[in-house]
Amino acid sequence: MTDQVHIHKHGAVGHISLNRPKALHALTLDMCHAMSAALTEWANDDAIEAVILDHAEGRGFCAGGDINLLRKSALEDGGIAGRKFFHDEYQLNHQMMTYPKPIVCFMDGITMGGGVGIALPAKFRVATENTRFAMPETGIGLFPDVGGGWHLSRLGGRLGQFLALTGARLDGAECLWAGLATHYLPSEMTADAKARIIEKPDRISGVLSEMVGTPPEARIEKNADKIAKHFASDTLEDIIASLDADDSDWAVKERDTLGTKSPQTQKVALRQLAESAKLTDFADNMRMEYRIGSRVLLRPDFAEGVRAVIIDKTHDPKWNPATPEGVSEQLIDSIFAPLPESEEWVPLS
C-alpha cells in the first residue's frame, strides 16, 4: 500500500482518501493500484455496503494523472511506462464504473483529468462551491481520456464537445446543472454528510437529498444556446468557422481559446466523442481510449504541450501539425487503429 492514499473502514462503509496534497492529489500508479486493491477487497466483503471517495486535505479533490511520468516516458522509454500508467488507470476507471456497490465521491475542489476519471463513475457525485471541473487535456497535446469520451459524449446540447475542445472550467453549481454532479452541498456540510452516510449506508440518496444546499445560479446556462449552435459539428474547421462568423465577445473568446489548443488532439477529441456516443459498453470505450493514448503519448504535441504549459510555463507551444487543416484524416485514423492483439487494453480480471 502507499501513504498517498488513506484506506479505512468505518462500519459498513469503505473510505478512500487521496493524500498527495502538494500535487493536488494527482494520481500516481501506486495510488491507482492501492485504490483498485481496496475496491476489489470490498466488492467481495458482505460487511461493506458502500464506499466514500474524497481527499485528505488541501484544495484539490484530484488534479489529474502523473503528467511528468507520462512526459518522461514519452521522451525516454518509448512510452512503455506511460502506457502502463494509462492501462492500469483505465482498469481502475472501468472497475469503478461497473462496481457492484454505491460509491459516493466528494468533488470538493479541483476535479480535472484523472480526477474526473475517478469521480464520474461514482453513483453519487457531490459538488461544492470549491469544485472546479475541467478536462483541459487538449491544451497539453493530450485528449479527454479516463472515460472522458463516454461521459462527455452523453451530456446534452454539445456541452461535452465544448468542454473537450476548450478545457473550460465549471464550478459546482454548473456541474449540478450539467448532470456531472448528482448533488450540491456547501463544503462545510460535507463532513456531516459523510458521518450520516457511515451511519446509514443503505440511505445515501435520502441523506444527500435531505441535506441539499441551494446552489448558486449556473452561469454556463446563459451560454447553452451558443454552445449548442457553434459546437454542433464533429468537424473542427466547421466549429471554428461558426465562431469566426459571430463577433460577440463570447464567440471571440472561445475562438481565441481554441487557437491555443493542439489541432491534432482537438480533432482526436471530436472523433473520440462521436465514436463513444455509439458504444454500449464502457469497456469498449476504454479499449478505444487506450489505443488513442498509446499513440498520442508519442506524438510531438504531448511532450511540447507539457513543456510549454507545465514545465516552462511559457504557454507558447509549437504544435505539429500547426493548423487544423494540417491534421489529416489518415493521421487521425492511425491514432484510432487497433493495437496488436497482445497489446490491447483489458479490464481487471
Listing DSSP states for 282-336 in one string gives HHHHHHHHHHHHHHHTTSHHHHHHHIIIIIS-------SS-SGGGS-HHHHHHHH
Q: How many CB atoms lie within 10 A of CB 272?
A: 27
Which among 52, 63, 74 has a CA at the least distance from the CA of 28? 63
- CA contacts within 13 A on the Cβ side of 252: 3
Task: Tell me which residues are annotated as active site.
Answer: 65, 114, 137, 145
Torsion of CA 288, 291, 296, 297, to 10 degrees: 120
Distance from C-alpha of 286 to C-alpha of 126, rounded to nearest angstrom: 24
Query: Residue 96 is inside which H or E element, if any?
Result: helix 80-97
- Strand ranges, E, within the chain: 5-10, 13-18, 50-55, 60-62, 103-107, 110-112, 124-127, 132-134, 170-171, 183-184
For Cα atoms 299, 302, 306, give the angle at the middle one, nearest 5 degrees.
Answer: 160
Distance from C-alpha of 16 to C-alpha of 105, rounded to nearest angstrom: 10
Which string of b and e fits 202-234 if b means at least 16 CB within 10 Å? eebeebbeebebebeebebeebbebbeebbeeb
Distance from C-alpha of 70 to C-alpha of 140, rounded to nearest angstrom: 12
Distance from C-alpha of 322 to C-alpha of 299, rounded to nearest angstrom: 13
Distance from C-alpha of 231 to C-alpha of 3, rounded to nearest angstrom: 43
Adjacency order of strands within the sheet including 170-171: 60-62, 110-112, 132-134, 170-171
Query: Residue 173 is inside which H or E element, if any?
Result: helix 172-178
Nine cell digits for residue 90: 483505465
